[in-house]
Structure 1
C-alpha cells in the first residue's frame, strides 16, 4: 500500500492507495506548530480507521507547498512508519517537461495534478485545481507544461471579504438557490459563487482563444464539484486527481 500526502496551505490530505484503488482519504488542518509525534499519532489513527497497521504501508510519497511543515511531517513518517518518504520535487521523474520561466517554481501539487490528468485523460489538457489558490496549468500534446495561472481561491476570497469589512459575517461556501438574494448572507453567497463561476468560464475561454489546439479541461480540488451543475466548460471532475498523479510519479521513480 502506498500512502500519498498532499500538504497544502489550508489542509493536509492523506490518501491510502492499493494499486490504482483509493482505499480512503483523510483531511487535517495544516499547522506548522504540530510536532512529528502529533503528525505520527494522527497517521496511526487514520490507518486504524481503515483496519490497517504501520507494517501494511509499503511506501510514502509527499507533495508539499508548505516548507515550514515538511521537517516535522517527514520526521513523523520516518519515526512512526520507518520509511524515508519520496518527495515530489526537483530530481523526481514525472514524465512531463516544464517549459516555464522558472520550472522550480511550479508547485508540487500542480505537477502531480498535471501528471495525473495527462496520463489518465490524455493531452492537450488544462488542469484546474480549486483549493486555497485556484490554479490553471496547461499541458500540451508533447507532454510539456507550458503555461500557468494563479488566482485567489473561493474560500480565500470569502475570508478576505469578511476580514476586510466591519459587519459582513462568515458564510458557508455553497451554490445559492438564486442570484436574487434577499439577505446579507445569501447576498454574499450568491456574489462569491457567481463572481467565481464567471471568472472560471472567462479564464477557460481565454485559454481557448490563445491556444491553437483543442484541449480537455480537468478540474480537481476541494471546491471543484461546487460548480459542476452550472458550467459546461469543464470536461472531467476528479477530486482524487492529485493522489492518482502522485501514484504515477511514484511508479516512474521505483
Structure 2
C-alpha cells in the first residue's frame, strides 16, 4: 500500500482525500475524504493545523503511513500556503499540479498553462477509469465540461457559472429575490417566486447541461464539421457515436443534477481525488 494525501483546493470548498496508490498498475482506491470551506486569506500555520486535524480523522493505515502528497489549487494566493503546510506533514516533497508535472495527457489548448489543475485531474481519472472518448461535467463553483477525444487527448472544454453561483447572483442582483434552496421544484412553471427561481436555476442548469452535452458529443463525433443539416445517415451515425461516449458527473451537485438529465450518466464523486493520486503515481518514476 502507498498512502497518498490529495488536496483539491477550490474557490468554495477544499477537499482532502486519502488514497491507496500502490503501483502504476493497481487501481487507485479512496480510503477516506472530508470537505471544508475554503478560507482566504489563510496563513501557513492555519493550514498546517487544519491538515493535522484532517489527518487525525482520516483512516491512515497503521502499517502504511503517509508516503506522499499532491495539491491541486485554483486559488493562486493559497498555493504557496498549502505547499508549505503539506511539506510539514509529508515525508517527501509534495507535488503541485501545474507546468512541469507529468500528466500523460496531451492538452489541445492554445496555452496549456491556463488549464486548471482540477480539470487535468478529472481528465486523467476519467480516461483511466472509463476510456476514451469521454466527457466529464464537474459541478462546483463553476460548471466545467472536459472533453476527451478518441486519442485520449484533452480536446477542449466549457466553463460556465455553477448552479449555486447562479442562485446567489440572482439574490444579490435583484433586491426582491430571496436566497433559495437548491432543489428541483415539482413543476416547471413556478407558482411562487421561490419555485420560479428553483425552476430557472436548477432545472435550467440541467437543461443547459443537456443542450451543451448534445453539442459537445456532436463535435467529438466529428458531426460538427459536417453540419447539423447533413444526410440522414450522418445523423444516425452521430447519435450512435454519442450513445457510446460515457458522460461522468462529479462535484458537489452531481448526484442531484444527474437525476434531471435526459441521458444516462455516471456519478463519480471521487473522480478528482483519484486523478490527483494517479498524477502522483506517474511522477514517482
State the TM-score bracket (shorter-chain normalisation): over 0.9
* 1:230 and 2:238 correspond: no
Matches within 5 A, 1:28-43: 28-43=36-51
Q: Distance in 1 between matches of 2:267 and 2:172?
A: 31
Match of 1:208 among 217, 224, 229: 217
Partner residue of 2:269 out of 230, 239, 249 = 239
For 1:7, the equivalent position in structure 2 comes to 9
1:11-48: CA deviation from partner (whole Å, max 9, x where unpaired): 11111112322122111222221111111111111111
Question: Any conservation in 2 of the 1:4–1:246 contact (CA below 8 Å)?
Answer: yes
**2:142–2:159 contact (8 Å) kept in structure 1:** yes
CA distance in 2, matches of 1:167, 1:146: 42
Q: Secondary structure at the match of 1:98?
A: coil
Shift of 1:118: 0.7
Deviation at 1:90, TM superposition (A): 1.1
For the pair 1:44 / 2:52, whether they are aligned, the reply is: yes
Shift of 1:163: 0.9
Q: Which secondary structure does the structure 2 equivalent of 1:2 belong to?
A: strand
CA distance in 2, matches of 1:18, 1:207: 33
Where structure 1 has 5 or more consecutive residues not aligned to the other structure, the ranges are none
The offset of 1:185, in angstroms, is 2.0
Length-normalised TM-score, structure 2: 0.84
For the 8 Å contact 1:5–1:14, the answer to whether it is kept is yes
SS in 2 for 1:220: strand
Of residues 156, 159, 162 in structure 2, which corresponds to 1:153? 162
Residue 125 (structure 2) pairs with residue 95 (structure 1): no
Based on CA coordinates, which of the two structures has the bigger radius of gyration?
A: 2
Counterpart of 1:249 in structure 2 is 279
For the residue of structure 1 that corresponds to 2:47, the secondary structure is helix
After the TM superposition, which of the residue ranges 102-111 and 13-22 deviates more from structure 2? 13-22
CA distance in 2, matches of 1:230, 1:80: 42
Alignment pair present for 1:171 and 2:180 = yes
Whole-Å separation in 2 of the counterparts to 1:81 and 1:118: 28
Alpha-carbon displacement from aligned partner over 1:118-141 (angstroms, at most 9, x marks no partner) = 110011011111111111111112
Gaps of 5+ in 2: 22-27, 223-240
Q: 2:87 is paired with a residue of what secondary structure?
A: helix
Counterpart of 1:26 (choices 24, 34, 47) is 34
Match of 1:116 in 2: 125
CA distance in 2, matches of 1:232, 1:118: 23
